[in-house]
Amino acid sequence: VALPLASERVYLISDLGRTTVELKDRFPYVDFDSGCATNGNGNGNKDEWWWDSPLSSSSNEDDGSGINDSSINYVEWRPNNEGQTYACLGEPEVEFNERMTRLYDWLDSRNERSIALVCHWGVIDWLTGEDFDNCEMRAVDFSVLRREGFMLSDEEAEEVFKKGGRCVVRDDDVEEVP
Residues sharing a CB contact under 8 Å with residue 56, sequence separation 6 or more, in sequence order = 88, 89
Q: Which of 28, 17, 149 is nearest to 94 (CA)?
A: 149
**pLDDT value at residue 169:** 42
**pLDDT value at residue 115:** 92
Residue 177 gets the label, from left (phi > 0), alpha (psi -120 to 50) or beta, of beta
**pLDDT value at residue 55:** 58
Q: Which residues of the chain have pLDDT under 70?
A: 37-72, 151-154, 156-178
What does the pLDDT look like over 111-156, one tens digit per residue?
A: 999 999 999 888 999 999 888 898 899 999 999 888 888 866 667 6
Measured CA to CA in angstroms, residue 119 lies from 13, 16, 152, 178 at distances of 17, 14, 19, 25
Name the pTM for this structure. Answer: 0.69
**Whole-angstrom distance, CA of residue 115 vs CA of residue 140:** 10
> What integer best gives the mean pLDDT of the chain?
74
**pLDDT value at residue 57:** 47
**Whole-angstrom distance, CA of residue 91 vs CA of residue 50:** 10
The half-sphere exposure of 157 on its side-chain side, counting CA atoms within 13 A, is 13
**Whole-angstrom distance, CA of residue 3 vs CA of residue 50:** 10
**pLDDT value at residue 42:** 37
